[in-house]
A and B are shown apart, each in its own frame.
Chain A
């Protein structure tokens, strides 16, 4: 779509400009402000919900019913709302996490405290299906085990909703939409469905829209973030990496771009890496609203930092919604210690042998143990590690799974006692413990969810 046709007033002739303001919960804040100020955006989408984030948020909500939304929501909204409201940029985000209503109310308070006037803010609910999963007879997709056998340990169960409740909120005039669990691409397909009036059984268009959402959802990962490899793939100014803009036409075709003076770059290569990120069968990318087919996608750089992407297709959606079930799964204890200079690897191996024997001698109860040499084999095992030269320094790491926190603590302690009882020259011990919140999924019949939205008052 060229510049002249952008002046056409009817939506179907227009390009809709969507920015990605965050690619994960802890992402940088300023790139979204830059987009709201200089991106000439219609929509700004923040994807902030990883697989188990919602379970951790659920635990926070149990402590305080007014919490359970993204911990950075306040900082992000304070930073971005003035420019977004001034420029008429509508915001969509899953920062609602385990409590979209509280997230929407908090956002309304922030808007009022910033003197931004009456902002229409909606919360999408219906993804929380804990009751349905607890009452029903489901089996985990991954392990095949009955969900019922985990009953007392389950923290949360959230279905991946599609675009429909967000589309409804936008149609009702929402300027900001806060959701809980929604399929990540649906945060982006929703405003497109709203603006272009696509039918929800226009599978090919929904498939291409899914391509758009998938490309944008990780923000900086398509503008040169997570891409640089000096000498092979160079990217300028990563410290002020710009986040992407999708310029989407009524047929779903998209040009990925960025604010011109922002750091980073948009090339065919950055777009291809992101297109295939977290994809299994490219012909069957399962989404709540469509089964998307990426196999005929074409990627074409039409100008510097402007890449056109077309050719996504789709087939009818499935009858079920993927639902993430989170449960507490014991504890992990860990300890690390460093060795350097001649014989570093031999001393680190000795250190691991000593800890292995100590854990057995002192009867630390573990269901799984792991012994790594960071710098040698921790990431890809002995075979890959043996391909390199011996390193100058190496870090011995022991990690173990336990049923109780007290047992987890003992693992790090056995690494720490290497200071005075282990090989020569060990230094820089760290030890840690954490409770594990694990996630498996079940497939839930669509009719057992009731996605909806409501407006909130500050």
Chain B
């Protein structure tokens, strides 16, 4: 199952750092994602774009996570050569991540 089935996401930028929220459609999937959607997994999935560390913050009351991606904006929004200098489209890339429900059981 794709992450898109379980969660939605928005990206925000600050300098050369990007944050990507992952918000469960249904709070019952929070524990599954907490287990399988690790910062390592996100870093590996977005390896072409994210050059720095990935830190995951947990927000159980919102059934959500906030991933903070270091060195992910080509040197910073204001000077990047990238087409999407703000990295706004990256939330959609993450929605393509495959979630193995068995792994969460």
Hey, which bits of chain A sit against chain B, CB under 8 A?
51-52, 142, 226-227, 229, 232-233, 269, 272-283, 294-299, 311, 326, 329, 332, 368-370, 372, 374, 378-384, 387, 397, 399-401, 436-441
Tell me the bound Cα distance from A380 to B42 in angstroms. Answer: 13
Tell me the bound Cα distance from A298 to B78 in angstroms. Answer: 34
Judging by beta carbons under 8 Å apart, are B93 and A232 in contact?
no
Interface size on B, as a range, is 35 or more
6 example contacts (A-B, Cβ-Cβ < 8 A) are as follows A51-B78, A277-B19, A279-B19, A281-B68, A282-B57, A372-B83
- Chain B residue, CB-CB nearest to A437: B78
Judging by beta carbons under 8 Å apart, are B57 and A281 in contact?
yes
Judging by beta carbons under 8 Å apart, are B8 and A232 in contact?
yes
Judging by beta carbons under 8 Å apart, are A384 and B48 in contact?
yes
Tell me the bound Cα distance from A298 to B19 in angstroms. Answer: 20
Interface centre among B68, B78, B84 (most CB of A within 10 A): B78
Contact with A along B87-99 (1 / 0, CB 8 A): 0011001001000
Tell me the bound Cα distance from A269 to B4 in angstroms. Answer: 14
Tell me the bound Cα distance from A278 to B91 in angstroms. Answer: 13
Tell me the bound Cα distance from A382 to B47 in angstroms. Answer: 10
A400 to chain B, nearest CB (A): 7
B41 within 8 A of A: no
B75 to chain A, nearest CB (A): 8
- Leading 5 A-B pairs by shortest Cβ distance: A381-B48, A278-B12, A276-B21, A370-B81, A273-B10
Question: Which residues of the partner chain A approach B12 to less than 8 Å between Cβ atoms?
Answer: 276-279
Question: Which residues of the partner chain A approach B15 to less than 8 Å between Cβ atoms?
Answer: 142, 439-441
Tell me the bound Cα distance from A299 to B64 in angstroms. Answer: 12
Judging by beta carbons under 8 Å apart, are B13 and A278 in contact?
yes
Contact with A along B5-26 (1 / 0, CB 8 A): 0001110111111010101010
Q: A273-B23, A379-B93 are in contact. Are A282 and B66 (CB under 8 A)?
A: yes
